[in-house]
């Protein structure tokens, strides 16, 4: 709770910076502020408490995921410094929007009432729409913002409709009350319908097949930093919220009571397989790196959905998977931001010969791609291992085999980028060594490897 208030306060504070004419100091001060918030958040860890008539419920789950969100936001804010160099006047707006987005995300994993859940999702979405369209004079960015807004508001509408149906069935927005009543044998049919609508809306935010069509265009059109944010922070928030929604409303036992669990699991298995396969196969054909990572993100969404099949035990695994994925994403995007600065596109040709001109960043990008492909000793490997272990335990061997085949396919396009860096001749020199980009890249890949060496640190948080 205090975390949420502190984050919102920090966001308002950021807006004031412009009035006080302190835009130069905004990045370091915001990072310090976020570190403070992180410490505050840690201090709340372990306690389970409800605030404001159950509007907000702070649990181990919510604090752990909030910490991850805050860490990711710190990285993204640090990257802003270099990215908005050319428009120094706007930086306070952009940083403030990111902080508000974080507030939305924290609200989404700690809601205790469906109204709060919807508020969170809207705060997050509106911040994302604005960021997607934030390059005002760039046609592609405008298109991305518009597309995302149209599709996103539609998804919000579906979620809202789902919430209404659930209210109709239960007579309450309160999560504790709904989860208690959902176990009763006699339930109106619109409770499962409402849940399905909410899950569909969240699958849209996660960009799982068949609700993924917005992702590649929006990722490609948005400014690179926004893409980084969408593919790491926003995706992690969405999947964590979906998980919390399914587990907090006792969806699984409730469906079991009504003999619908088999159907639900089949649907999840199919969506998961489709997301992995379609995401990977489409990614193979891309030449634009941002687009490629968008499709790779779709396939990772498929992997993360596997946690829904063993919901009672997989919270730790989800936290680990999302951390590994997001840290690798941050590391790779910081290299992309460096390489594609002042370029009009993010084509793979920009990366030619990076292994020669900048071995450090090339190594970091290689490491993060290897992590996403699931090669040990990077944490991506353990994430997949834990996930496969859970899923086989839950009895879905076929899904795991599909996932493994997809891991092999994904090597194809991750290595396309690695090959471009090491086996092609460099085509241009880049000047300047932006300290913050280097710092973010190094720290995130080091954290990624550290998670790989000591996975228990994260997994055991929620078990």
Partner 1 sequence: MNVSLILIILLVGAFATYVVGDKLASKVALFFSLAALGCSVVLLNHFLAGENISLINAWITQPKISFALNADGLAIAMLLLTVALTPIIIFSSFGNEYKIAKAFYALILFMAFAMTGTFLAADGLLYYIFWELALIPIYFIALIWGNGDAEERRKAVVKFFIYTLAGSLFMLIAFIYLYQKAGSFLIDDLYKLNLSATEQLWIFLAFFLAYAIKIPIIPFHTWQANVYQKAPTVGTMLLSGIMLKMGLYSVIRWQLPIAPLAAKEYMNIFIALGIAGVIYGSIVAIRQKDLKKLLAYSSLAHVGLIAAGTYTLTIDGLRGAVLQMIAHGFVVVGLFFAAEIIFKRFATREISEMGGIRIQSPKFTSMFLILVLASVALPSTFNFVGEFTVLYSLSQINIWFAVLGGTTIILGAYYMLKMFQNVMLGEANTKTFSDVTINEGISLVAIIAVLLFFGFYPKPITDLITPSLETILNVINKN
State yes or no: residue 266 binds partner 1 (CB under 8 A): no
Please, which residue, 32 or 360, has the CB nearer to partner 1?
A: 360
- DSSP letters for 140-156: HHHHHHHHHHHHHHHHH
Q: How far is the CB of 410 from partner 1 (least distance, A)?
A: 10
Closest-CA residue to 108 (of 300, 255, 248, 254): 248
- DSSP letters for 24-44: GGHHHHHHHHHHHHHHHHHHT
Site for partner 1 in 316-335 (CB under 8 A): 316
- DSSP letters for 298-318: HHHHHHHHGGGGGTTT-HHHH
Q: How far is the CB of 415 from partner 1 (least distance, A)?
A: 6
CA distance 385 to 398: 15
Site for partner 1 in 392-451 (CB under 8 A): 392-393, 397, 400-401, 404, 407-408, 411-412, 415, 419, 422-423
Select from 137-145, 195-203, 212-220, 454-462 the region that touches partner 1 (CB under 8 A).
454-462
H-helix segments, 171-288: 175-181, 190-206, 214-221, 224-229, 235-248, 251-257, 261-284
State yes or no: residue 359 binds partner 1 (CB under 8 A): yes
Among 215, 370, 441, 451, binds partner 1 (CB under 8 A): 370
CA distance 396 to 403: 11
- Checking DSSP bridges between strand 49-51 and strand 56-58, what pairing results, if any? antiparallel
Q: How far is the CB of 405 from partner 1 (least distance, A)?
A: 8
Please, which residue, 187 or 377, has the CB nearer to partner 1?
A: 377
Neighbours of 420 (CB within 10 A): 20
Site for partner 1 in 378-397 (CB under 8 A): 381-382, 385-386, 388-389, 392-393, 397
Please, which residue, 48 or 423, has the CB nearer to partner 1?
A: 423
- DSSP letters for 318-382: HHHHHHHHHHHHHHHHHHHHHHTTT-S--BGGGGTTHHHH-HHHHHHHHHHHHHHHT-TTSHHHH
Please, which residue, 147 or 416, has the CB nearer to partner 1?
A: 416
Among 37, 298, 459, 461, binds partner 1 (CB under 8 A): 459
In three-state secondary structure terms, 209 is coil
CA distance 323 to 319: 6
Among 178, 355, 369, 372, binds partner 1 (CB under 8 A): 355
Q: How far is the CB of 38 from partner 1 (least distance, A)?
A: 25
- The footprint of partner 1 on this chain (CB under 8 A) covers a number of residues equal to 32
- What is the DSSP secondary structure assignment for residue 460, as one 8-state letter? G
Q: Which residue has the tokens 């960009």?
A: 207
State yes or no: residue 463 binds partner 1 (CB under 8 A): yes
Binding mask 49-88 for partner 1 (x = CB under 8 A): ----------------------------------------
Please, which residue, 186 or 425, has the CB nearer to partner 1?
A: 425
Interface residue list for partner 1 (CB under 8 A): 316, 355, 359, 370, 375-377, 381-382, 385-386, 388-389, 392-393, 397, 400-401, 404, 407-408, 411-412, 415, 419, 422-423, 455-456, 459-460, 463
């Amino acid at each position: 709770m205090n975390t949420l208030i502190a984050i919102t306060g920090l966001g308002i504070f950021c807006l004031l910076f412009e009035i006080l004419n302190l835009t130069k100091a905004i990045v370091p001060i915001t990072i310090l502020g976020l570190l403070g918030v992180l410490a505050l958040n840690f201090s709340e860890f372990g306690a389970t408490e409800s605030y404001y008539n159950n509007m907000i419920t702070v649990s181990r789950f919510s604090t752990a995921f909030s910490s991850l969100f805050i860490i990711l936001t710190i990285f993204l804010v640090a990257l802003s410094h270099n990215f908005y160099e050319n428009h120094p006047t706007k930086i306070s707006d952009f940083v403030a929007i990111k902080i508000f987005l974080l507030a939305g995300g924290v609200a989404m994993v700690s809601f205790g009432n469906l109204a709060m859940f919807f508020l969170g999702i809207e705060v997050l979405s509106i911040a994302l729409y604005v960021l997607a369209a934030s390059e005002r004079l760039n046609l592609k960015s405008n298109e991305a913002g518009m597309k995302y807004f149209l599709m996103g508001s539609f998804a919000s509408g579906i979620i809202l409709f789902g919430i209404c149906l659930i209210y109709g069935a239960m007579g309450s927005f309160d999560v504790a009350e709904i989860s208690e009543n959902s176990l009763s044998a006699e339930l109106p049919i619109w409770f499962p319908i409402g849940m399905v609508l909410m899950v569909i809306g969240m699958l849209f935010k996660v960009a799982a097949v068949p609700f993924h069509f917005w992702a590649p265009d929006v990722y490609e059109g948005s400014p690179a930093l926004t893409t980084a944010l969408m593919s790491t922070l926003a995706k992690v928030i969405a999947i964590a919220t979906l998980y919390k929604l399914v587990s907090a409303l006792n969806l699984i036992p409730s469906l079991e009571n009504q003999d619908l669990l088999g159907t639900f699991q089949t649907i999840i298995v199919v969506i998961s397989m489709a997301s992995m396969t379609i995401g990977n196969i489409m990614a193979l054909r891309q030449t634009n790196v941002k687009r490629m990572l968008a499709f790779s993100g779709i396939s990772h969404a498929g992997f993360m959905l596997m946690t829904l099949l063993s919901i009672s035990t997989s919270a730790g695994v989800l936290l680990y998977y999302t951390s590994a994925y997001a840290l690798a994403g941050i590391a790779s995007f910081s290299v992309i931001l460096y390489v594609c600065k002042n370029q009009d596109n993010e084509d793979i040709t920009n990366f030619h010969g990076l292994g020669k001109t900048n071995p450090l960043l090339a190594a970091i990008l290689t490491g993060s791609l290897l992590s996403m492909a699931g090669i040990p000793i990077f944490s991506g490997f353990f994430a997949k291992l834990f996930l496969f272990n859970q899923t086989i335990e839950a009895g879905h061997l076929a899904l795991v085999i599909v996932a493994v085949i997809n891991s092999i396919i994904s090597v194809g396009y991750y290595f396309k980028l690695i090959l471009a860096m090491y086996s092609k001749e460099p085509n241009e020199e880049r000047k300047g060594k932006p300290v913050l980009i280097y710092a973010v890249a190094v720290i995130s890949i080091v954290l990624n490897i550290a998670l790989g060496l000591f996975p228990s640190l994260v997994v055991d948080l929620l078990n």
